[in-house]
Each structure stands twice: as C-alpha cells, then as structure tokens.
Amino acid sequence: MATLQTFYERMFFIRRFEESLLDLFSLGKLVGTTHTYIGQEANAVGVIEHLDPDRDVIFSNHRCHGHYLAFTDDAFGLLCEVMGKAPGVCGGKGGSQHLCKGNFYSNGVLGSIVPVATGIALAEKKKGTGAVSTVFLGDGTLGEGVTYESLNIASLWQLPVLFVVENNHYAQSTPVELELAGSIAARGAAFGVETAELDTTDVDMIHEAAGQAISRIRETSAPYFLVLNTYRFSPHSKSDDQRDPAEIEERRTRDPLLVAGARLADDERSAIEARCEERLAETVEAADAAPAAQPEAA
C-alpha cells in the first residue's frame, strides 16, 4: 500500500517532467509535439498504483507521459524518446505519443486505442493471466464511434477492461459543452458496464475508487467504466490555449499537488520535491548528452 508521500512524489515528478518538456521546447531541444499532463497527475498515480506492471496492461493515448511514468518509472527512456535520442524507449521512432515498453502501449489517434485494449483483454482472459487491460480515454475520445463498439464488445464478451475517462473538459480547444451531448457516465451504463464517476483532484479518493473498480474487474472479469472529472492547466499541446485565464486560476486552487501537499509536513514535502528535482536534473542531463537517433546504415 503506497503512502501519500509516494503519491506526492510520483505526481510531483510527473508535473516537473512535463514542465521540463515545455522548457526544453523553448530551448529548441525538442521538436515535434507534446501533450502535457499537467493538472491531471492524480488520475494516473491513483489508478496505476493498483496495476501490476508485470501482469496488467495499459493502452494510453496522445497525453500518455503521466501514465507511462506512473506505470514504468522510466523517465530516461521517455525523455530520450521525446527528444529523438537513440536510447529512447522506441529508438526515437515513436516520439511523444507512440510509446511501448513491456505491458505499456500508447498511440496517437483518438478512439483507435479502445478496441485494441479490448482485444488485449480478450487475449489475457483466454490466457488466464488475470490481467486487467486499462485504457485511458478523454472527453474528446467520446466523439469516436469505435469507443462505443468497444464498450459493447467488452460488455458482451465480459472482458476485463478498465475504461478510464479523464474528462478534462476540453477536446484540444473545444469545450466539452460543444462536443458532447448527454452524460458521460450514462455512456458506460448504457452498455451494462458498471460505472463510477468522481469529481475530485484528491489522489487518495481517486486511488480508493480505482481500487474498487479494479477489484471488481479482478473478481468478475467484466469491464468497468471509471469517469474522472479533471482539468489540465497547460495548453492542449504547447501554446494553443485560448481558455479564460480566470477559469484556469480557479482550477489551480484545486491542483492535485496542493490537495495532497497540504497533508504533508513542510519539511517532508520539501525533501520529496528536492529529490524529484535532483532526479529530473540528472535525467535531463543524461538525455541531453545521449546520441541522437540515426537511420540505420543502408
């Protein structure tokens, strides 16, 4: 059972990792794109604490760094991948959105990943591994039809899939009110899938709800639909943000780091943060020094 200290450390490290990516972009050390997870860290940390990296499987989306770090703790492999360095976890071929390591996968087309996670669940069920296949969606993904085909199949065939919908209230720049009709939770329920919805940035509460969801899946081998209402503080990608700054400021008062950090003693929190900063600095230095990915000699 992980402690609040551990949760805080993981969340803080993800936060600082993502902020560093934006800094590295401005320094010209990154090219391409990134979709940072800043503000949503409690979801990844709270849910993934219940998953076993040697057995369970995650399929994540374009905003995958938080999930990847929480599951694999491989900051160097991820940073190198995003920086186009040879030691990157996919040799620089995947970049920010297309990661694979052990039982972790991500891909960059919304919705596309949901049936694949469903097929993974079927394979694991047939193999009898007891694995849970977790797929992270967002509110934007709910616009894609394959999401519903997959919910139908997962329920029909009783597959151990955890659908985690991180509703950060924006599909790129489009507010959820302009992209979604009806209730999100009702979408799971409509397919006969057990559903829970949370509206919190408290990692302990998310951890508890995810624990119940995953226990249910392990017990029944049936899917579960977990809706986490959340918010990202950073732009969709890098500088594409037209949201009302007042809205962002209001959301920042519920920053998952503030919520969890308030329960830690000041010196404890500072020590954790210093440890993360040191590890991050070492990671950035090592990745920066690593050789760039090169085409194989013909």
Partner 1 sequence: MSVPQKRCVQVLNEALHEIFASRADVYLFGEDILDPYGGAFKVTQGLSDGYPDRVFTTPISEASLFGVAAGMALRGQRPILEVMFGDFIALGFDQVVNGISKFREMYDDQVMVPLVVRTPMGGRRGYGPTHSQSLEKLLLGIPNICVVAASECHDLRALLTHAVEDDGPVFFIENKLMYGRVNRRPDDGHIGELAVRESSGPYPALTFSGTNFAEASATVVTYGGMVPVVLDAVTGLILEHEIFCEVVALSQLLPMGLDAVYESVGRTGALVTAEEGTLTGGFGAEIAARVQAAAWSDLRAPVQRVAARDGIIPSARPLEDAMLPSVHDVVEAIAALEGVRQ
Q: Does 149 bind partner 1 (CB under 8 A)?
A: yes
Strands 100-101 and 133-138, by their bridges, are unpaired
Q: Does 14 bind partner 1 (CB under 8 A)?
A: no
CA distance 124 to 70: 22
**Spatial contact of 56 and 103, defined as CB atoms under 8 Å apart:** yes
CA distance 75 to 65: 9
Find the shortest distance in angstroms from Cβ 32 to partner 1: 13
User: Diameter of the chain by CA atoms?
Assistant: 58
Q: Does 117 bind partner 1 (CB under 8 A)?
A: yes
Which of residues 8 and 163 has its CB atom nearest to partner 1 in the complex? 163
Q: Does 287 bind partner 1 (CB under 8 A)?
A: no
Q: Does 292 bind partner 1 (CB under 8 A)?
A: no
User: Residue 27 is encoded by which pair of tokens?
Assistant: 């320094």
Q: Does 281 bind partner 1 (CB under 8 A)?
A: no
Contact flags string 154-193 toward partner 1, x per CB under 8 A: --xx------------------------------------
Q: Does 146 bind partner 1 (CB under 8 A)?
A: yes
Q: Does 34 bind partner 1 (CB under 8 A)?
A: no
Q: Does 53 bind partner 1 (CB under 8 A)?
A: no
Q: Which of 19, 29, 87, 119 binds partner 1 (CB under 8 A)?
A: 119
The radius of gyration of the chain from alpha carbons, rounded to an integer in Å, stands at 19
Q: Does 60 bind partner 1 (CB under 8 A)?
A: no
Positions in 89-108 near partner 1 (CB under 8 A): 89-91, 93-94, 98-101, 105, 107-108
Find the shortest distance in angstroms from Cβ 144 to partner 1: 9
Task: Give the number of residues in contact with partner 1, rule: CB under 8 A.
Answer: 39
Of 191, 194, 186, which is closest to residue 220 (Cα–Cα)? 194
Candidates 2-10, 153-161, 239-247, 256-264 — which segment interacts with partner 1 by CB under 8 A?
A: 153-161
Start-to-end C-alpha separation, the chain = 51
Find the shortest distance in angstroms from Cβ 21 to partner 1: 20
Positions in 70-89 near partner 1 (CB under 8 A): 89
Find the shortest distance in angstroms from Cβ 152 to partner 1: 6
CA distance 140 to 232: 13
Q: Which of 33, 112, 212, 237 binds partner 1 (CB under 8 A)?
A: 112
What residues line the site for partner 1 (CB under 8 A)? 57, 89-91, 93-94, 98-101, 105, 107-109, 111-124, 126-127, 133, 145-146, 149-150, 152-153, 156-157
